[in-house]
Amino acid sequence: MMLFRAALTAAVLGFGAGSAQASSIGVFFAPDGGDCNGTATPGVPFTIYIGAVLGGDAAAGGITGAEFSLLGADPTWITTITPSPAANLVLGNPVGSGCNIAFPACQAGPFVPLYTIQFTAPGAVSPRALRVWLHQVPSGPNFLCPLVTKCDAPVFTKVCVSGGQAFLNDPSRVCTVGIEARNWTAVKALFR
């Protein structure tokens, strides 16, 4: 139980304290990260873009990689996943249990493209959120979060970032880039 609390505390603190400047990994319907509301109709391909939005935190200087998964995709959708052409190492599947992507050189922000994913839904698509979440098999017990690696070779320090969300067929929803205000009361409630 103590290890769980320590890992949870590290993850919560790593997600930032609600700073609008914190880095995140987000889901978008525009390649520049400018739109997070999209539509899908049966049989017509639609594309999402997953990218790191670098803010004024530890990842502000750029990243060399990321680790995360994507939640909310329907398993019946036909999926084509394309990693950033700048990447030199790609492991796993963002739509499956999670992925790791790495770059041979520092990638500067404010927006770093990670993946382009095209979906085709065979049937009607209900309103839903597509969310960036932690890798289902995280790279370590202190990193129960979506994460990026800094440009500090040979260390490549891991930094927890927030996971953003985008909305499909639900224009009434407000998009987020993974920045959520948190307060101490909410953090304490996790341990009750």
Each residue's pLDDT tens digit, 16-56? 333 447 899 999 999 999 899 999 999 999 999 999 999 98
Q: Which domains does the chain have, with CATH numbers?
A: 2-178 (2.60.40.680)
Distance CA 178, CA 159 (A): 14
Are 29 and 51 in contact by the 8 Å Cβ rule? The answer is no
pLDDT-derived band at 130 (thresholds 50, 70, 90) equals: very high
Q: Is the pLDDT of residue 132 over 90?
A: yes
pLDDT, tens only, 69-81: 999 999 999 999 9
Q: What's the average model confidence in pLDDT over 86-97?
A: 97
Terminal alpha carbon distance of the chain: 12
Q: What percent of the chain clears pLDDT 70, i.e. is strictly above it?
A: 81
What pLDDT was estimated at residue 61? 94
What pLDDT was estimated at residue 134? 97
Distance CA 79, CA 22 (A): 30
Instruction: State the pTM of this model.
Output: 0.81
Distance CA 17, CA 13 (A): 7
pLDDT-derived band at 176 (thresholds 50, 70, 90) equals: low
The residue behind tokens 């700048």 is: 86
In terms of pLDDT, which residue wins out, 73 or 179? Answer: 73
Distance CA 178, CA 182 (A): 12
Distance CA 181, CA 172 (A): 21
pLDDT-derived band at 177 (thresholds 50, 70, 90) equals: low
Instruction: Spell out a b/e string for 3-24, using b for 16 or more CB atoms within 10 Å of the CB, else e.
Output: eeeebeebbbebbbeeeeebbb
Q: What's the average model confidence in pLDDT over 132-147?
A: 94
Residue 184, Cβ density class (10 Å: 0-12 exposed, 13-18 middle, ≥19 buried): exposed
Q: What is the mean pLDDT of the chain?
A: 84
Distance CA 149, CA 64 (A): 5
What pLDDT was estimated at residue 13? 37
Q: What percent of the chain clears pLDDT 90, i.e. is strictly above it?
A: 72
Distance CA 90, CA 168 (A): 26
